Structure 1
Amino acid sequence: MARNLHTGKRHYTFYDWKNSFIVTQFLEELLKRYPDKDIYIIWDGWSAHRSEHTKMFLDLHPRIKILPLPTRASWLNPVERDFSQIQRFCLSNSDFQTVTEGMAAISNFIEKEPSLNGKCT
């Protein structure tokens, strides 16, 4: 997930797995959505963020500016707060019958709750 801190708009995609190739694919989508803007990314120390593949991608796309988080400082990242709200209001004590049902509920929550404070349906 990424958030435009000026507008509050969240960009997200569901994937079956997470790795550096998925990270760069997501970054490519952000580059397309914001073709004339620099993109600032707040990142933690996840290995996919530090991989050679990701480093090479970033070298080729200087509009992407990385703002690394200090170790154990996830609370500084606004997207981590979003994940916490999704966990609290949408996933905890949920009883989704399928993955698709869960993904739909999360999408609905993100789209309908700009502040991410509310009930997941």
Structure 2
Amino acid sequence: MDEFGPLSIQPFPGKGWFKKEHPDRLPATYHRSHGVRHLLTALDLKADKLYGHISDHKKHQDFLRFLKVLRRRYHRSERLYMVLDNFSPHKHRAVTMWADDHNVELVFTATNASWMNRIECHFGPLRKFVLDGSDYENHKKLAQAIQEHIRWRNRYKRDRRILEEQKKIKVA
């Protein structure tokens, strides 16, 4: 499990097909009137399935809400092991108490060792296929694009394009 973001509404550089004479250009500046969002993600290693939820914040309450959604996807008797970085909301007392009560073990990576978390390599394809060359008008459209990408990725997880992007990010 990890967070991706912050996600802001801004034009992202990238490649695309443009008219030869007058291609669309990225503006020199943009207005940051939309705030930011964060993508909370989890990877089921057994099923090779990605889950994601867009949140306004990265507080322990948001993380706990996402954990509860994930817990409902599996039978209570099945122990869930959540590999996490050492971000303080992951270690909040409310989170650890809930995990103890709901058969969830929080496994923390070593400090400054995000490469030990298998989910990291899935952010490369998300960045390339959703963000590169984009200019979403609002967070709702960006969230829709991210959810569409996650559904597409789960359906075509062995697609050559996805695997090539994943290889670019080294994980243990």
TM-score by length of 1: 0.85
SS at match of 1:104: helix
Tell me the secondary structure at the aligned position of residue 37 of structure 1: coil
The one-letter code sitting in structure 2 at the alignment partner of 1:18 is K
Cα contact 2:63–2:89 (8 A) shared by 1: yes
Deviation at 1:65, TM superposition (A): 1.4
Structure 2 SS opposite 1:88 = helix
Structure-to-structure mapping, 1:29-44, within 5 angstroms: 29-35=69-75, 36-44=77-85
Query: Alignment RMSD, CA only?
Result: 1.8
AA in 2 matched with 1:2: A
Matched letter for residue 93 of structure 2: E
Match for residue 114 of structure 2?
74
2:162 corresponding residue in structure 1: 117
- Structure 2 gap segments, 5+ residues each: 1-40, 164-172
- Structure showing greater Rg: 2
Q: Indicate yes or no: 2:108 matched with 1:54.
A: no
Equivalent residues in 2 for 1:19-34, closer than 5 Å: 19-34=59-74
User: Between Structure 1 and Structure 2, how many residues are aligned?
Assistant: 117
Deviation at 1:12, TM superposition (A): 1.7
Q: Name the SS of the counterpart of 2:55 in structure 1.
A: coil
Partner of 2:14: none
Identify the structure with bigger relative contact order (alpha carbons < 8 Å, sequence gap 6+).
Answer: 2
> What residue identity is the alignment partner of 1:57?
W
Q: What secondary structure is seen at the aligned counterpart in 2 of 1:13? A: strand
String of CA shifts for 1:49-68, please: whole Å, max 9, x gaps: 1112212222322x111221
Q: Tell me the SS of whatever aligns to 1:18.
A: coil
Query: Hey, which of these two has a bigger chunk of helix by percent?
Result: 1
- Unpaired runs of 5+ residues, structure 1, are none
Aligned-partner SS, 2:94:
helix
Contact 2:51–2:150 (CA under 8 A) maintained in structure 1 = no
Alignment partners' CA distance in 1, 2:96 and 2:105: 12
